[in-house]
Structure 1
Amino acid sequence: MRWWRGLAAAGAMLAALAAAAGLRPTAKERGGYPSAADAYSRPPLRFGSGGLFKVALFADLHYGENAWTDWGPAQDAGSDRVMAAVLDAEKPDFVVYLGDLVTANNLPIPNASLYWDRAVSAARGRGVPWAAVFGNHDDMPFEWPPEWFSPDGVPPLRCPPTSMSASGVDQGCSFRGTPRIDLITTEISKNRLSYSSNGPKDLWPGVSNYVLQVLSRSHGDPALLMYFLDSGGGSYTEVLSSAQVKWFQSQSQFLNPNGRIPELIFWHIPSTAYVKVAPKANSEIKKPCVGSINKENVAPQAAEWGMMVALAKRPSVKAVFVGHNHGLDWCCPYEKMWLCFSRHTGYGGYGNWPKGARIIQITESPFSTVSWIRMENGTKHSDVTLSS
């Protein structure tokens, strides 16, 4: 891996190579939108002094629902409490927001970034860096409630103090959504702790497609690669495209040609492979699967265009993590990797199951990955070894 150290020393050369490979496209290549790298100079992620790197997954927060009622804001306050409890108990090195941070189809304002900002404030307020991927609700068009067409009519809007767009234009308060690119551009341009990126433009309408490296605690070589992918939904079909498969293959070959660096994968909507390994809905979760709730059928992507085949061909891929199904929190083996759900973190969205978050702890040497669920009430369960 000394070749990488040499590239790191030649910063300009590395930037050019990475841009050419699609790892970190320039603002011009993305159509002028800034990435985290454009906005600020972020320090590299690195394993801690004990050789550990701990990640908390916050899935399906669904901020902003029914803001015109008392119920909606109370749900958001509940989500604040869950994340605070998990962060204070686990003290992770990194947070992954695993999609559906907001429920855009239920947001009565033109700037969902205001609610998105509240979602990431839990990590930001504790100085914990994070990255995000999009879910199917994050830019879904606003859905007018049928009861608003009754004699009572449309209720008065409760707008946030400002309704500025990402471009800085005051758009007033009206019923329409916020595009993916506005959400992520606002996040990464205003937060030094954000490691999110809007990814290569040729993967659009998918936006949150990028790779993060975690460096060794003792030298400058990458010791872990984390791939983030936009699984669609909302403004377009729920799917990982063939173009994303080719992008992943290109990135993994460029960054990890010999497969020596362990790789973890994050997206929102489960692939059809999850259906194949899923325990029967409402049945007991039995080994080799590990989890605590199994209350619904897997709701997979609309199609499979080769991503799972590409992942299965790489022994370096240890696990895939998704959200989307609020009533599932299991991990099951598939091929030589694990397929895991997070835990429904937010009080928004469907389901009244107790809230929590999946925790992932990676040990650099000897490499291992373990995971568990940390609940809002402080309890811990569903420990599983994903690689050793």
Structure 2
Amino acid sequence: MPRHLIFAYLSLIIAVGAAAAMRLRTTPEGNLRMREGAAFKMVLFADLHFGEDSWTEWGPMQDLKSVGVMSAVLDDEQPDFVVYLGDVITANNIMVENASLYWDQALSPTRVRGIPWSTIFGNHDDAPFEWPLDWFSEVGVPQPHCPSANASFAGGSECIFRGTTRLELMRSEIERDSLSFSSDGPRNLWPSVSNYVLKLSSASNAQDPVALMYFVDSGGGSYPEIISNAQVKWFQEKSQEINPHLRVPEIIFWHIPSKAYKKVAPKTRIDAQCVGSILWESVAAQEAEMGMMKVLEKRPSVKAVFVGHNHGLDWCCPHKKMWLCFARHTGYGGYGNWARGARVVEINQEPFCLKSWIRMEDGSTHSEVILSS
């Protein structure tokens, strides 16, 4: 990355960090809490793909542009919370052992603004390194410069191709970042890293839940692309424990869409039932359906499921008594040349209302939809 761009990036981080007001609104138990008289707003960053082609000038430039997208959206929306919806990095393009360096860069626009966040994993976040065929051509590629163990940018001279596991990435995040609400368990699940629940409480009473947010690891990378039977059982037990009477609205997040998304997907254009702006590819669903959607369909408390993975889709469509929604491709890494942006989700308490729209990098908004009321 050119030196002047590095200095510009660092200056942005320092300036925003100095001006950021810490906006943590949490209960003593570590759950999220609404502000008095205000809606609770979340921004979803999907498919950032930091670290892609990290040995070239192109790759770091894309990461810098992705920082620009996130910074623009965060400054425009001023959210209470951020969800990183998977494929934060492209691990199969990262040649160093410590891929958390790139993970850390992806989180930095949110961190320096003092905004709490949570993460889940996608199919690229711990994928094994893929050797570029160009390296074996007659010309070959010059010796790559890899980030050193104690640096945030390229400058080291040695590369380690082992990669970084899901568990290592998650542990690094939650140990280093007090703003992170991510979790690395339970251990008895498979996939077993980013499966957890956050409670959003009212401003007046920390014990009064406004919504429950479930984060589920949909696999990929070192796992099959599925939500397993074990995860389904975990969700059933956890939801019965904390919401036995189905009175609290529930919102679900994972990365790879379920097969139900293929059933509701518009065919040639965004139809009257769905709300969105791009329909440029078919749904790339999980490898198999292990029962998660059937469980969700039986719970009237479930209002919406949010996923990433498909860069060329940003729609929300009704399914049974819930909505199935894609985020918006946020990062300049990854395939596709569609304009970048992020999905925004807003929760109002009395009466409960779940609303969403897309905020673009250029500041425009579109595709507003009421997902429940």
Please report the TM-score for the alignment, with normalisation by the length of structure 1: 0.86
Shift in Å, 1:68: 1.3
Give the Å deviation of 1:287: 1.4
1-structure distance, mates of 2:357, 2:272: 15
1:191 aligned onto 2:177: yes
2:87–2:124 CA contact under 8 A, matched in 1: yes
Q: SS state of the match for residue 77, structure 1?
A: helix
**Aligned with 1:156: secondary structure?**
coil
Q: Distance in 2 between matches of 1:131 and 1:326?
A: 21
Secondary structure (helix, strand or coil) at the match of 2:188 reads: helix
Alignment of 1:238-317 (within 5 A): 238-280=225-267, 283-317=268-302
Answer yes or no: is the 8 Å Cα contact 1:110–1:163 preserved in 2. Answer: no
Asked if 1:200 corresponds to 2:186, the answer is yes
1:225/1:130 CA distance change after superposition, 3 Å: same
CA distance in 1, matches of 2:246, 2:297: 12
Counterpart of 1:365 in structure 2: which amino acid? Answer: E
Which string of whole-angstrom CA distances, capped at 9 and with x for unpartnered residues, describes residues 337-367 of structure 1? 0000000000000000000000000001100
> Please, what is the CA RMSD of the aligned residues?
1.6
Find out whether 1:157 has 2:144 as its counterpart: yes
Shift of residue 154, structure 1, vs aligned partner: 4.5
Q: Report the Cα offset of residue 151 of structure 1.
A: 2.1
Aligned to 2:69: 82
Equivalent residue for 1:318?
A: 303
**What is the CA distance between 1:110 and its match in structure 2?**
0.9
SS at structure 2 position matched to 1:73: helix
Q: 1:1-388 counterparts in 2 under 5 A?
A: 43-162=30-149, 173-220=159-206, 221-280=208-267, 283-388=268-373
| AA at the equivalent of 1:116 | W
CA contact (8 A) 1:55 1:93 kept: yes
Q: Look up the equivalent residue of 2:193 and give its one-letter code.
A: V
Aligned-pair identity in percent equals: 63
Aligned-pair CA distance for 1:336: 0.2
Q: Deviation string for 1:80-127 (max 9, x for gaps)? A: 000000000000000000000000001111111000001111110100
Tell me if structure 2 keeps the 8 A contact 1:68–1:155. Answer: no
CA distance in 1, matches of 2:335, 2:239: 36
Structure 2: state its 5+ residue gaps.
Answer: 1-27
Q: For 1:134 and 1:101, locate their aligned partners in 2 and report how far apart those are by CA, in whole Å.
A: 8
C-alpha distance in 2 between matches for 1:180 and 1:304: 22
Contact 1:42 1:192 in 2 (8 A): no
Instruction: For 1:241 and 1:44, locate their aligned partners in 2 and report how far apart those are by CA, in whole Å.
Output: 26
The question of whether the paired residues in 2 share the 8 Å contact of 1:110 and 1:171 is answered with no
Does the residue aligned with 1:121 lie in a helix, a strand or coil? helix
2:96 and 2:161 in contact (8 A); partners too: yes
Map Cα deviations across residues 192-213 of structure 1 (whole Å, 9 max, x no partner).
0000001110113331000001
> What code does the residue aligned with 1:212 have?
L
Partner of residue 16, structure 1: none
Measured after TM superposition, the shift of residue 223 of structure 1 is 1.5
Cα distance, 1:288 vs structure 2: 0.9
**In structure 2, C-alpha distance between the alignment counterparts of 1:99 and 1:105, rounded to whole Å:** 14
What amino acid maps onto 2:173 in structure 1?
Answer: E
SS in 2 for 1:201: coil
Kept in 2: contact 1:111–1:163 (CA 8 A): no
Measure the CA separation in 2 of the matches of 1:278 and 1:385.
18
Change (3 A) 1:163 1:138: farther
Deviation of 1:284 after TM superposition, in Å, equals 1.8
Q: Runs of 5+ in structure 1 lacking a partner? A: 1-40, 165-169
1:172–1:147 CA distance, 2 compared to 1 (3 A): closer
